[in-house]
């Protein structure tokens, strides 16, 4: 597992743990993402150093190649002109030393190149992951805002509904109190009023009949 993968795994496992323990999720994630951005920035600085050191090794390698060719040419010159075998052999020895040193330099350059490629891939992957996390944070913030708005609206509607219920309740109480002030003997039913009117009229006829009977008796 690469350095950044391990770092992301540790980072987001810590986020999950902390998010479950405190309420300010946005602040925790934002702080973690800022920390990750700092790590990526530091990695970019290290990558730049790797590239610079690799370039220095490339220059040293080129110099060793020149030195090796120079000592080879000197060995040939000594063998041809001076017929000095010892000097020619010393030149060959130094040429071989330059070649060996250049081989070690080339090996180091290859290692630097592999490290730079791997670090560059990790940085690119980390930046992509950070972008995804930033988008997710934006979406979570939007969802949180929407939820808060809906919750506030629901609470406001509940308050309004409660106020309306209380208003209807007070109105009903006022009507009931007014109804209690009305004469309970006063008929309110249409059919009952009709029967009462007929009964009253019948009583009047009976009284009239009695009056007429008394008059005839006189």
**pLDDT at position 114 over 70:** yes
pLDDT tens digits for 116-165? 999 999 999 888 888 888 888 888 888 877 877 776 666 666 666 677 77
Q: pTM higher than 0.75 for the full model?
A: no
Mean residue pLDDT of the chain comes to 79
Q: Torsions phi, psi of 186, nearest 5?
A: -75, 125
- What is the helix, strand, coil percentage profile of the chain, to 5? 90, 0, 10
Per-residue pLDDT, 74: 87
Per-residue pLDDT, 22: 46
Per-residue pLDDT, 4: 56
The model's confidence at residue 172, banded by pLDDT at 50, 70 and 90, is: confident
**pLDDT at position 107 over 80:** yes
Distance CA 16, CA 7 (A): 14
The model's confidence at residue 53, banded by pLDDT at 50, 70 and 90, is: very high
Per-residue pLDDT, 140: 84
Q: CA distances (Å), 28 to each of 24, 105, 143, in order?
A: 7, 46, 17
pLDDT tens digits for 201-215? 777 777 667 766 766
Tell me which of 150 and 44 has the higher pLDDT.
Answer: 44
HEC per residue, 145-202? HHHHHHHHHHHHHHHHHHHHHHHHHHHHHHHHHHHHHCCCCCCCCHHHHHHHHHHHHH
Task: Tell me what percent of the residues of the chain surpass a pLDDT of 90.
Answer: 27
Per-residue pLDDT, 108: 94
- Average pLDDT, integer, range 53-79: 91
Distance CA 84, CA 90 (A): 10
Distance CA 146, CA 15 (A): 23
Tell me which of 37 and 56 has the higher pLDDT.
Answer: 56
């Amino acid at each position: 597992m690469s350095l950044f993968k391990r770092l992301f795994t540790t980072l987001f496992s810590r986020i999950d743990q902390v998010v479950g323990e405190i309420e300010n999720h946005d602040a925790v994630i934002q702080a973690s993402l800022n920390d990750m951005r700092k790590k990526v920035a530091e990695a970019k600085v290290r990558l730049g150093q790797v590239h610079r050191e690799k370039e220095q090794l490339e220059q040293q390698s080129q110099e060793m190649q020149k030195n090796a060719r120079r000592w080879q040419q000197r060995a040939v010159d000594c063998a041809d002109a001076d017929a000095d075998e010892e000097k020619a052999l010393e030149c060959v020895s130094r040429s071989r030393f330059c070649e060996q040193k250049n081989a070690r330099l080339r090996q180091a350059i290859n290692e630097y190149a592999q490290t730079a490629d791997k670090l560059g891939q990790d940085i690119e992957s980390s930046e992509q992951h950070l972008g995804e996390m930033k988008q997710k944070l934006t979406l979570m913030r939007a969802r949180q805002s929407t939820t808060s708005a809906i919750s506030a609206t629901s609470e406001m509607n509940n308050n309004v509904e409660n106020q309306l219920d209380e208003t209807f309740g007070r109105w009903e109480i006022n009507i009931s109190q007014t109804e209690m002030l009305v004469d309970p003997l006063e008929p309110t039913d249409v059919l009952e009023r009709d029967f009462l009117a007929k009964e009253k009229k019948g009583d009047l006829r009976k009284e009239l009949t009695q009056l007429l009977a008394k008059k005839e008796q006189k």
